[in-house]
């Protein structure tokens, strides 16, 4: 089969732990043909959605680890699967790409994750569909609403809706120090919507990344544990990643959501849970394949490929 990966520049990959690269490697090892392009190379031309793409071969070398052929223009529906793996932010150009991918789906392309489902699931706001699974949460642009929430819960976390990797996450304790300043700065004086949640002290045990693939639950999570005085467990913010079996409550949450999200076209999902509470539903380019595989022995890329092959059969 021919797999087209729409991703960030290959030169930007962190080759020791990149999940997209792990997907590419296992697919190539299974005999599938790899193709690559960036989202900017997806276009509408001659009444079809096409990609100006290149055949890709993964090399064993850690330096010159890939080889690309000459650029070819191919219809997206000519590929066995199109895998959208461009990292956030989910800005207007990301949105434009999903609209083009939706047009490709109408023409017969098989896109993972389904672009309509990606658009419909804000990685932060989508948790509000499952209020019984989330911590006390407020979504607002209004400072007074945040102040009232703080008075109720005393210890809170404030974050922008379009952040990634822990960017822009602030904790405000019971003293309320700098609350107004943080809200005004993050919210750009009321022009941007913020999410506010009760602080979960269980973050000390890790912000758990749980992977759902093809409606099934990967049995190991990656606990991203904050270091030092940091409250963020994100690996991009210096958190330490530790793979561990899912707890009973994590299994219950993941088992409940896996079939629902898969039915909507969300083939690969990364749930974030703290103390059993659902805090995010990541659908753009979930990661942690390599860390979980190396530490637990459970081969996540192989699990992903088997599920993809099944979905395409």
- Can you tell me the distance from the alpha carbon of 267 to that of 114, in angstroms, rounded to the nearest whole number? 8
Choose the catalytic residue: 85, 159, 198, 208.
159
**Is 224 noted as a catalytic residue in this protein?**
yes
The first and second tokens of residue 242, run together, are 């530790």
Q: How far apart, in whole angstroms, are the C-alpha atoms of residue 21 and residue 5?
A: 10
Whether 272 is catalytic:
yes
| 48-58 vs 66-75, strand pairing mode | antiparallel
Of these residues, 198, 209, 250, 291, which one is catalytic? Answer: 209
Residue 248 catalytic? no
Q: Which of 123, 224, 234, 250 is catalytic?
A: 224
> φ, ψ for residue 119 (rounded to 5)?
-65, -35
Active-site entry in 113, 234, 262, 282: 282
Q: Is residue 124 annotated as a catalytic residue, yes or no?
A: yes
The structure tokens listed for 34 are 């790899």
Q: Is 40 part of the annotated catalytic residue set? A: no
Q: Which of 85, 232, 234, 291 is catalytic?
A: 232
Q: At how many degrees (to 10) do helices 300-312 and 19-29 cross?
A: 60
Determine the Cα–Cα distance for residues 236 and 194; give it in Å rounded to an integer: 21
Pick the catalytic residue: 207, 250, 280, 291? 280
Which residues are paired to 270 by β-bridges?
Answer: 211, 282
Q: Choosing from 110, 124, 198, 208, which is the catalytic residue?
A: 124
Concatenated DSSP letters for 270-297? EEEEETTEEEEEE-SS---HHHHHHHH-
262 annotated active-site = no
Active-site positions?
124, 159, 209, 224, 232, 272, 280, 282
């Amino acid at each position: 089969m021919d797999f087209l990966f729409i991703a960030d520049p290959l030169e930007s990959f962190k080759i020791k732990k990149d999940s997209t690269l792990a997907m590419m490697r296992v697919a190539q090892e299974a005999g599938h043909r790899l193709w690559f392009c960036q989202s900017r190379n997806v276009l509408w031309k001659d009444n079809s959605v096409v990609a100006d793409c290149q055949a890709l071969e993964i090399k064993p070398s850690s330096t010159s680890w890939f080889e690309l052929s000459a650029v070819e223009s191919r219809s997206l529906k000519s590929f066995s699967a199109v895998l959208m793996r461009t990292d956030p932010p989910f800005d207007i150009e990301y949105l434009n790409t999903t609209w083009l991918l939706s047009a490709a789906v109408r023409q017969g392309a098989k896109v993972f994750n389904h672009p309509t489902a990606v658009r419909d699931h804000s990685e932060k706001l989508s948790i509000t569909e499952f209020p019984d699974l989330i911590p006390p949460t407020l979504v607002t642009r209004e400072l007074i609403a945040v102040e009232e929430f703080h008075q109720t819960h005393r210890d809170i976390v404030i974050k922008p809706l379009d952040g990634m990797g822990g960017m822009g996450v602030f904790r405000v304790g019971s003293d309320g120090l700098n609350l107004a300043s943080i809200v005004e700065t993050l919210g750009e004086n009321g022009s941007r919507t913020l999410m506010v949640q009760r602080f979960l002290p269980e973050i000390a045990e890790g912000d758990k990344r749980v992977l759902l693939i093809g409606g099934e639950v990967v049995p190991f999570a990656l606990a991203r544990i904050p270091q030092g005085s940091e409250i963020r467990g994100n690996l991009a913010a210096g958190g330490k990643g530790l793979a561990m079996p899912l707890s009973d409550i994590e299994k219950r949450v993941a088992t409940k959501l896996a079939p629902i999200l898969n039915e909507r076209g969300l083939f690969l999902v990364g749930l974030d849970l703290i103390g059993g509470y659902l805090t995010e539903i990541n659908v753009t380019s979930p990661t942690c394949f390599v860390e979980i595989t190396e530490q637990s022995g459970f081969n996540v890329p192989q699990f992903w490929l088997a599920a993809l092959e099944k979905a395409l059969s």
